Chain A
Amino acid sequence: MTVFTSFLAGLVFGLGLIVSGMANPAKVLGFLDLGGRWDPSLAFVMGGAIAVGAVAFAVARRRTRSFLGAAMRLPAAGAVDRRLAAGSVLFGIGWGVAGFCPGPGLVAAGMGEMKALAFVAAMLAGMMGYELIERRRSVAADLPGAAADSAQ
């Protein structure tokens, strides 16, 4: 059941990206281009998403199990560290270069866009690179599971 709801969540998420125009890198770059002719749309996408999301997370916060009985896995509050900061900056540079972040890249790949497929392949390679670096580091430091958890 949770596999089906996972598919459904991905589907609705993807539809939201298409409807909002965020599956289109040119529109995303229009938002990131403060020095040119600015398209504020992306801010409205986030506003709409957060307005709905905030209600759901307020409910989720008070529960230990989901409505389907799955464990509630909300990330523990942590400090803002160098990994988070450096990673976010690298991600932001990549986002600015092409106008793609992970979700829109996958949706545009689903449209059969060759350029989106190239982006997604490189993104997977980058994520694999992270895995290899972290694995080597955790072996070197002899700290099993030193790599951060996948949760946000």
Chain B
Amino acid sequence: MTIDWPAFTPWAALAGGALIGAAAAMFVLLNGRIAGISGIVGGLLRPVRGDVAWRLAFVAGLVAAPMAYAAFAQWPRPQIDAGYVALVAAGLLVGVGTRYASGCTSGHGVCGLSRMSPRSLAATALFMGAGFLTVFLMRHLLDL
């Protein structure tokens, strides 16, 4: 394994991570809920009275984040190398997978590990392992 030192940004990663943790902290301490994005979004597809507004508000906050960031600096443009076919396939897998898993990187990876949930630890190990293998396969074996 070679570390990509120029790409490695430990301080920005820690600072951004602390903000993510602060958001999860705020959400559980004020709203009493887990900041799990797949669960919040997925719940909108099974609407229950009185349970829609806060979900929409959270998603609106996420989508508005670049605008808020732009008040201080231009946001760094994401580099999306995958083509549209791959993006649609990935989206379908992420959509179905996170709902069966009852969580994604935020709900299991951040909140679940923060509360030392065994289910979240298993989920995180599995989706990270699958992610490592998929990238290895695509980049180093199939050369996609």
A residues in contact (CB < 8 Å) with B? 2-27, 29-30, 32-57, 59-61, 65-68, 70-75, 77-80, 83-111, 113, 115-116, 118-131, 147-152
Contact = CB atoms under 8 A, between A and B. Distances in A.
B38 A102 contact: yes
Could you say which of B4, B30, B87, B104 has the most chain A C-beta atoms within 10 Å of its C-beta? B87
Given A25-B80, A41-B13, A122-B95, A10 B123 contact: no
A126 B16 contact: no
Nearest to A111: B66
Given A7-B57, A25-B79, A110-B66, A15 B19 contact: yes
A122 B20 contact: no
10 tightest Cβ-Cβ pairs between the two chains A and B: A126-B95, A20-B16, A10-B61, A14-B65, A48-B17, A122-B91, A92-B130, A52-B21, A87-B100, A96-B134
B68 A11 contact: yes
B22 to A, nearest CB: 6
B94 A123 contact: yes
Give the contact-size bracket for chain B.
35 or more
B7 to A, nearest CB: 4
Contacts, number: 529
Contacts of B2: 36-38
Contacts of B23: 9-13, 16
Given A65-B32, A92-B129, A152-B102, A50 B140 contact: no
A68 to B, nearest CB: 5
Given A9-B30, A98-B91, 14 more contacts: A13-B65, A16-B22, A18-B76, A47-B14, A49-B110, A92-B127, A92-B133, A96-B133, A105-B94, A113-B78, A126-B93, A127-B99, A152-B117, A152-B120
Nearest to B38: A102
A111 B135 CA distance: 25
A34 B102 CA distance: 27
Chain A interface mostly: helix
Contact of B67 (A23, A37, A110): A110
A103 B93 CA distance: 15
Given A33-B139, A97-B90, A110-B63, A54 B108 contact: no
A67 B82 contact: no
Nearest to B106: A103
Interface in B89-144: 89-120, 122-124, 126-136, 138-140
A141 B84 CA distance: 37
B96 A115 contact: no
A115 B103 CA distance: 23
Contacts of A80: 118-119, 122
